[in-house]
Amino acid sequence: MGPDSMVFIFELIASTLLMFLTVYFIICLSDLECDYLNASSCCRKLNKLVVPEAAGHVFATLFLIIGFHYWIILLNVPLIVWHFYCISHIPKGNTGRYDPTEIHNRNVLRNFQKEAFVKLAWYLILFFVYLYSMIYSLVKGE
């Protein structure tokens, strides 16, 4: 098993964890929509995970840089830019990315849900790219 295979195994694990984290976001937002969860506790839970999600994605992409897989890095860049955009454009006075007073607006909640589904699809696509790349590197290495 070569170093490329190890990089892609790590990427598979990282993308799986990021998918689970995104599913957690979707569940919390849908619970909020159905009034199973109040806005302040939902936003508190989600705000704790915004920076770790971005950091996890950046950390996983650093392994691709170490492995010199530049074309796959290009697939990761748009979502990394989106993470940093969202973190850097939090309005003053808000408690974080998810604010309990603004999330009651149905359009804001819907936009957060759409964003979570798009991120889930993105991580799923990356998962299969990593899986294919891992299999290819294992076959090529034999």
**C-alpha 87: how far from its chain's center?**
13
Instruction: Read off the pLDDT of residues 4-44 as tens digits, 9 standing for 90 and up.
Output: 889 999 999 999 999 999 999 999 999 999 989 999 999 99
- Rounded Cα–Cα distance for residues 20 and 4 (Å): 24
Q: What pLDDT shows up at residue 62?
A: 94
Number of structural domains (the chain) is 1
Cβ–Cβ under 8 Å, residues 108 and 102: yes
Compute φ and ψ for 67, nearest 5 degrees: -85, 0
Among residues 82, 94, 10, 12, which one has the least CA distance to residue 53?
Answer: 82
Residue 18: which domain range? Answer: 3-141
